Structure 1
Amino acid sequence: MNSSQPACEAIVLFSGGQDSSVCLAWALERYGRVETVGFDYGQRHSVEMQARKVVRRAMAERFPQWAGRLGADHILEIRGFGAIADTAMTAERAFELTDKGLPSTYVPGRNLVFLTYAAALADRRGAEALVGGMCETDFSGYPDCRRESLDALERALNLGMAQDFRIETPLMRLTKAQTWALAKGLGGEALVSLILEESHTCYRGERGARHAWGYGCGDCPACELRAKGWDGWVEAGRPALAS
């Protein structure tokens, strides 16, 4: 479906990071109305909560074809959930593998919780699609990023809410390099520039150092993955990926 054929409504899980920014553009290209939802779950840094405002505003200002489709933004406070996790995302802990072999940045069930809240919101807002940036190709080993997990959740949500939601994961089979290519395919160099300058990925909340791939500390797992993807895309000649 192209932008001349708007469909139903979607809610995008939007953190202000690279992946969710690309997902927002992807949804705006496909759906007649797109709302965003963000979660305050006690993150170590508030940088991403600020970044998401900037990215949303820039998306509407720089892409008039999408501006009329971008609807309300919702912030849900779930700090009680974040307090349970005790991970490197919510507390001052080292970035390392845990005894279970998972990264210390893994917040157990975070995507499942986010999507459940988003589904409850979608039920009230009349949205049919839930869009998230989960990915199996270039990911950090999080079990709730797997499509198998999301398929099971989709079925549970639809059974439990008597709905017919779709959990859309446009990045599921893409590498980070291909995610940059998708951004270019959706919005050209203007969207690449927006994501490069305004989105936030760094786990440490660092915005002082500007690298070729954007802002960040440069050595946390999120920065390393983003940098690797950028380098791979640049080395490939910065091609566009069909949206």
Structure 2
Amino acid sequence: MGESAIVLFSGGQDSATCLAWALSNFETVETIGFDYGQNHSIELEVRQTFLENLRSRFPDMTKGLGIDHMIDLGVLGAISDTALTGEREIEMNEAGLPNTFVPGRNLLFLTIAAAVGYRRNAKHLVGGMCETDYSGYPDCRDDTLKSLQVTLGLGMDSRYVVHTPLMWIDKAETWEMARDLGGDDLVDLIVKYTHTCYRGDRSTLHAWGYGCNDCPACELRASGWSAFADVVPSKKRAAQ
């Protein structure tokens, strides 16, 4: 496209896949991460390891990969009362949402990314939000993000495009997208160097990556991997 993008890169599977997607669609790509007091802050450490390995193992893919921005959003954790930002058990709340939902999180993330993009002349914002395999978070819905795209453009008097490559695919298809973008090497990188587990557990490496294998994030990632692993061999046989 010959244009610049900023990718919301948390250090997890979805955002890592979106980063690879952005690198294949834009001339220059920068990443942005947020420290909002999340209990699984280990993701902030592994994201740097992933970026380093991505650069070294995919030199052609990462030619357009620029700087990484880290934003302190501790105020979000301070005003939240969730299982991701406090010492609480993961459970459903009265509204039928898991208490891992951090109100306003994605809205703030994209607004700040747009502000950084304004300075960096990057009008494309890329996020891993999904309305197919997700926990029901309202700020992951397509309608929410389309509305926010309009608001950002009006509020900054500059056209922004919010891209959500994973919006209508499930976790198995997300693994497949990663494989299409970077082959088995990229899949291996995502397995070993990204983090999704809400509990921040990196004690055990499963086939799908590190995690407690019990929280909602691990369950989604593991079930997606299982479905992906079942499909890949059949595709290979069909190609023979």
Match for 1:121: what amino acid?
Answer: V
Q: Give the match's secondary structure for 1:204.
A: coil
In 1, Cα distance between equivalents of 2:181 and 2:151: 32
Stretches of 4+ moved more than 2 A in 1?
Answer: 237-240
TM-score (norm 2): 0.96
Q: Please give the residue correspondences for 1:108-119 in structure 2 after superposition, counting only pairs within 5 Å.
A: 108-119=103-114
- Residue of structure 2 equivalent to 1:8: 3
Shift of residue 66 of structure 1? Answer: 2.1
TM-score (norm 1): 0.95
Is 1:43 the counterpart of 2:38 in the alignment? Answer: yes
In 1, Cα distance between equivalents of 2:177 and 2:108: 27
Match for 1:79: what amino acid?
Answer: G
- Residue of structure 1 equivalent to 2:63: 68
Q: Please give the residue correspondences for 1:166-177 in structure 2 after superposition, counting only pairs within 5 Å.
A: 166-177=161-172
Q: Is 147-156 or 58-67 further displaced after alignment?
A: 58-67
Contact 2:17 2:174 (C-alpha < 8 Å) held by counterparts: yes
- Residue of structure 2 equivalent to 1:203: 198
Match for 2:53: what amino acid?
Answer: A
- Residue of structure 1 equivalent to 2:140: 145
In 1, Cα distance between equivalents of 2:230 and 2:63: 36
In 2, Cα distance between equivalents of 1:7 and 1:137: 30
In 2, Cα distance between equivalents of 1:67 and 1:139: 29
In 2, Cα distance between equivalents of 1:49 and 1:113: 18
Q: Please give the residue correspondences for 1:1-243 in structure 2 after superposition, counting only pairs within 5 Å.
A: 6-237=1-232
Shift of residue 45 of structure 1? Answer: 2.9
Match for 1:73: what amino acid?
Answer: D
CA offsets per residue over residues 78-103 of structure 1, 9 Å max, x none?
A: 11122111101101111110011110
Contact 2:5 2:22 (C-alpha < 8 Å) held by counterparts: yes
Match for 1:169: what amino acid?
Answer: T
Contact 2:40 2:197 (C-alpha < 8 Å) held by counterparts: no
Shift of residue 210 of structure 1? Answer: 1.2
Give the aligned CA root-mean-square deviation in angstroms.
1.1
In 2, Cα distance between equivalents of 1:37 and 1:20: 10
Percent identity, aligned pairs only? 55
Shift of residue 228 of structure 1? Answer: 0.3
In 2, Cα distance between equivalents of 1:131 and 1:26: 9
Shift of residue 65 of structure 1? Answer: 1.0
CA offsets per residue over residues 171-197 of structure 1, 9 Å max, x none?
A: 000100000000000000000000011
How many residue pairs match? The answer is 235
In 2, Cα distance between equivalents of 1:214 and 1:127: 32
Q: Point out where structure 2 has 5 or more consecutive residues left out of the alignment.
A: none
